[in-house]
Structure 1
C-alpha cells in the first residue's frame, strides 16, 4: 500500500471517530515541503457541510489520529492537516519497494477491457510528423493501462477505403513504375496518387476514369480488388517498419474496409429504430431532444438561433461516410470485444464528430466508456505548423532519421570511443522524439526544437537516460557485488530523505495518469526524480562511504535506476546501459 493510501486510511478512521460516521479523507502530496510531505483539506470540506469550525474539527481529528509511527501531523491555516513522514518510514518503505516488482504501483484496472484507437494512418500515404502525437501518445496510454491491470486492445483503424483509391487504381494501371514500387512502395503509391490527382483537375476524362475505377472496386471487380489488396499490404509493410522502429505493437489492424458489409444494415437499423431519418435524400441522425441545445452535438447556434446539425450516415447517392464506419466500429468493439471503455486518440478538430458518434451510439444501445483523447499541433521553431521548406508535410520517417543522426553526433562528441554507438544513437534519438511529445500536456501546441530535444541537460529524454546510465556506472565500479535485499536502509541526510520521498511517490503517480490521460505527469515525475538523484549524488558519497552507509545509499541508487527504467518504459522509451 502506498504511503498516501496509508495516511488516507488513518485519517478516515480519525474522522470516523470524531464525526461518528464513516467518511473519506483524501490526502495529496504537499506542494511546499516546508509544510510537510502530505496535506489534507478534508477538515475544511467536511466542516462546511456540517456547519462547524474547520480548524476546530481538524484539531479533534489530530487528537484521534493514530499514524502508527509513520509520522506526525499538525494543523495549518484555516484547517489544513499537514503530515510529516518520519525518515525511518521512508527507509522501511524503500526496502519494501526494492522487494516489489511493481515498485509500489497498485493494479487498478480490474481486468476491464479498454479498446484504444490510435495512429490510424491512411493507406498509400506516408506517415507525417502530425502522426507523432496520436501514435506515441496512444502507445504510452496502452502501456500504462496494461500495467495498471486493464485488458487493452490496441486497434490501428487504418484508412484503407475511400475515394482516393479511384485515383490510385487509375494511376496503377497507367503510370506505375514497377522498379520504383519494389524499391519504395509507399513513395511510388504517393507519386502516382499525386500525379493523377493533379490530372483530374485539368482533365475531366481522367476524373471520370477514376470514378469508374472506384465504382468497379466497390462492386467487387476482381482486378481492382487484387490491386487494392496489394496496395494495402505494401502500405502495411511500410508502416510496420516505422512501428518496429518505434517499438509499437497493435493487437489488430481493422481498417475502414473491414466494416463495409455492416454499413447498409446499420443504416436500415437506425431508420427502423427511429434513430435516423431521411432529409433531402440523405439519411441523417438528428438531435434526440433529450439534451439542452448547448449540450447537444446535433444542434448548432448561429445568428438565427439554434439549428439542426445532423450527422449524415448515408448520402443521397447511396454512399456512406466516416460517421457510418465509426458507428459500425463501435458496434463491433462493444459486441465482439465486449469493450468496457473505448478511447480515441485523435486530434482536437474531430471533437464534434466524436461527440455525435458517442451520443448516437448511446441512443443505439452500444454504450461504452467513450473517451476522445484530443491533442494539439506540433509547431516548427517559427511557431507555425511544421512543414518542409517546400511547404510539404514533414514525413515521420525523416524525423526519426534526423533524430538518430543528431543523437549520433552528440554521442560522438561526448564519447567518441563508445561501443555500439549506432544502436545507442537509435535509442537516444527515438527516445528524444517520444519524450518531446509525452512531456507536454496533450492539448498544448508545442515547438519541435532539435537542440533542446537532444540536450543532455534540461527536461529531455537524454537527461533521464544519462541519469540511468550514471547510476548503473556506480555498480560497474563496485567491487564484490551488491545485494539490495541485504542492505539495511538508514536515511540521515536531507538529500537521502528527499530521494526516498520521491521514490515513494512513483506508486502514487502512475495510477492517476489515466484520470485525464496525461502521461506528461509521469514525464514530470521522472524529471523530478532524476534531479533529486543528482542532488543526492553530489551531496552523499556512495562508494567512498562507510560500509553500512554505502549499502544504504546503493539501495537508493538501485531503486532509482529501476524506477527510471520502468517509468521510461511505460512511455515507450528504452534506457541504454552506456552513452
Structure 2
C-alpha cells in the first residue's frame, strides 16, 4: 500500500488535462508536517504556473477541480499562493488498513521483472581481526541488502575481502622466515601480530622487502607453496569473521566471499585489453592509465597504475576486473558499494576506466559513502591506550551492559531468558544506534544513548513491541474470533494519525532503497512507537466498553506490531515477545 503512489497517479493525471507538463518540472507530494495542513500536501504548483505564465493560485484551483479523489479524500484545500492540502477519508484509510493487515507482506508489491543488484559491503582484511572500522559498512550494507530482497530484487552479496596484494607477500615471506607450522592451531590475533612484525621488517629491511615483493608475484602467478599458505590464512580469517557476522545477525556467509583473488585470472587479459584500446600506456616500466577528467596537483591528467614494473598487479586492476565480472557475468542492473567516503575519488576513477573500456553495460554504479565512528573526544573511536577496538570486544561489552540493565529491571529473571534477552538487546542496540545515524556523517559512540529506554533507540522500539504483544496475548480470543472481518474504526485523531503513518511504510522502504538511508526507516519506526504509546495511554483497550471499538483497536495494534517487527527485521534487529 502506497498512499504517495495513489495520490501521484491521480494528481499527474489531472495535471495532464490542464497543461503539457515539462519534463524538468515536477510536483512534490509529501506528508504534511502539521495536522491543520491535512495529511498530504502538494508543492510545486508555483513553478509549473510560472513556466506557462499562469497564476499559481488559479492553476492550483483548476487542479483541485479536475482532481478525482472521490472516496480517498474528504476535503482538499487550496492555500495562497498555490499550496494544496489533502485530508484523507477515514473510511478509505480503514479499508486500506484491513488490506495491509490481511497481507503477509503488509500489501507491499515486489518489483517486476526481477533485476540483479550486487552489493559490495563489509570487506574485512585477511589475517586481521574485524574492528570498529568495519561496523558501518557491514551493518548498513546488510540492512540495504535485506530491503532490496524484500522489494523483490535478486541480490548478490559481495564480501570483497582483502585477500590479495602486497600484505600477503609480506606475511608469506615472514611466515617462511620463522618456519611457522600452519597445520597447528593458530589464532587470528596471533596472525595479526605476525603481520605487524612483517610490516616492520618490510619497512626496515631491504632484503626482506624484496623477498616480500617476490612472494606477491609468485602468489599472483600461482606458486603452489605460496597458494597453500595463502589458503590457510584465508580460511582461518573467514571462519573467525563468520562468528562476528552470526553474532551481529548479518546475512553474509562464507559463500558470499568474493575477494580480490576471485579476479586474479582476469588481470593479464584486462591489462592487455586496456592497452589494445589505447587506454593504458607504458610509463617508466609500469602500465598506467591517464584520466583527463581527473587532474593532479599540477593540473595534469591523473595517472592510475594498473601494473607495476615488476609485473605485480594493484588494487586498481583488480577493481576494474571486478566491475567487468559483475556487469558481464552477474548481469548486474545496479552495483552498490558501501565503502569509506575517503575512497570516493578512487572509485570514480575506476568507474571511469571501466566505462571507457566498455565494461559497463546499462549498469548503475552507486557509492553509498559513510563517515567515521568517533569517541566523545571527537576523534576516531579507540581504546584508552589508542588501539583500534575489536568488534568482538565491542559486542561482548554491549551484551555485558545489556545484562546489567536487564537485571536492574528484572532481578528474578531466569538465566536462560537473561542470556537470550541480553544478546537481543545488546546486539540490537549497537546495530540500531549505527543505523539510526545518517550514514554520510560522522557520529559519536555513546553507551548511555545506545542502551536507553528513552528516545530513538532500539530498546524503546523493542519495548513498545513487547507491550503490544502483551496486549495481543490477552486479546487472543477476540482477535482469533473476529480477525479481518471487522472494520478498523478511526474515531479519534490519534487513531487517524496511526493509520496514515502505518500506510506510509512502503513509501519509507522505497525511499531507503532509492537513497541507501536506513536512518529514515529508524525514524519511521521510532515515530510509530511514539504514536502507539500516546494512543495506548489515552485509550487502554481493556477499559473500552464498546465491543466494536475494542475489536477495532486490537486489530490496529496487531498491524502496529507486524509493522514494527517487519521494519526491525529489515534492519537486521531481532524482537522478543517479553521484556
- Whether the aligned pair in 1 keeps the contact of 2:478 and 2:551 (CA below 8 Å) is no
When the two structures are superposed, what TM-score results if normalisation uses the length of structure 1? 0.93
Superposition map of 1:14-93 within 5 A: 14-19=14-19, 26-71=28-73, 72-93=75-96
In terms of mean alpha carbon deviation, does 530-539 or 40-49 score higher?
40-49
**2:335 pairs with 1:342:** yes
- Whether the aligned pair in 2 keeps the contact of 1:181 and 1:188 (CA below 8 Å) is no
Aligned to 2:270: 266
The 2-side partners of 1:14 and 1:331 are apart by 45
The 1-side partners of 2:117 and 2:558 are apart by 34
Aligned to 2:295: 299
In terms of mean alpha carbon deviation, does 473-482 or 493-502 score higher?
473-482
Pick one of 381, 392, 395 that aligns with 2:387: 392
When the two structures are superposed, what TM-score results if normalisation uses the length of structure 2? 0.93
- Whether the aligned pair in 2 keeps the contact of 1:108 and 1:149 (CA below 8 Å) is yes
Distance 1:280 1:500, change over 3 A: same
Distance 1:479 1:310, change over 3 A: closer
Distance 1:543 1:22, change over 3 A: farther
Kindly provide the CA deviation profile for residues 119-166 of structure 1, in whole angstroms up to 9, marking residues without a partner as x: 111110011101001001110110111111211101111111122223
Q: Aligned to 2:541, what secondary structure does the other structure show? A: coil
Q: RMSD of aligned C-alpha atoms?
A: 2.1
Superposition map of 1:22-421 within 5 A: 26-71=28-73, 72-108=75-111, 110-175=113-178, 182=185, 185-250=187-252, 252-287=256-291, 296=293, 298-300=294-296, 302=297, 306-367=299-360, 368-419=363-414, 420-421=417-418
Q: Following TM superposition, by how much is the alpha carbon of 1:181 offset from its aligned partner in structure 2, in angstroms?
A: 6.2
Q: Aligned to 1:154, what secondary structure does the other structure show? A: strand
The 2-side partners of 1:364 and 1:90 are apart by 52
**2:465 pairs with 1:468:** yes
- Runs of 4+ aligned residues of structure 1 deviating over 6 Å after TM superposition are 20-24, 176-181
The 1-side partners of 2:171 and 2:291 are apart by 38
- Whether the aligned pair in 1 keeps the contact of 2:95 and 2:487 (CA below 8 Å) is no
- Whether the aligned pair in 2 keeps the contact of 1:176 and 1:192 (CA below 8 Å) is no
Q: Aligned to 1:416, what secondary structure does the other structure show? A: coil
Q: Give the number of aligned pairs.
A: 567
- Whether the aligned pair in 2 keeps the contact of 1:181 and 1:189 (CA below 8 Å) is no
- Whether the aligned pair in 1 keeps the contact of 2:281 and 2:288 (CA below 8 Å) is yes
Q: Aligned to 2:336, what secondary structure does the other structure show? A: strand
Aligned to 1:293: none
Q: Following TM superposition, by how much is the alpha carbon of 1:284 offset from its aligned partner in structure 2, in angstroms?
A: 1.5
The 2-side partners of 1:46 and 1:202 are apart by 68
Q: Aligned to 2:300, what secondary structure does the other structure show? A: strand
Distance 1:176 1:392, change over 3 A: farther
Aligned to 2:441: 444
Distance 1:391 1:325, change over 3 A: same
Distance 1:460 1:479, change over 3 A: closer
- Whether the aligned pair in 1 keeps the contact of 2:217 and 2:312 (CA below 8 Å) is no
Distance 1:200 1:365, change over 3 A: closer
Q: Aligned to 2:515, what secondary structure does the other structure show? A: coil
Distance 1:479 1:58, change over 3 A: closer
- Whether the aligned pair in 2 keeps the contact of 1:487 and 1:551 (CA below 8 Å) is yes
The 2-side partners of 1:329 and 1:204 are apart by 33
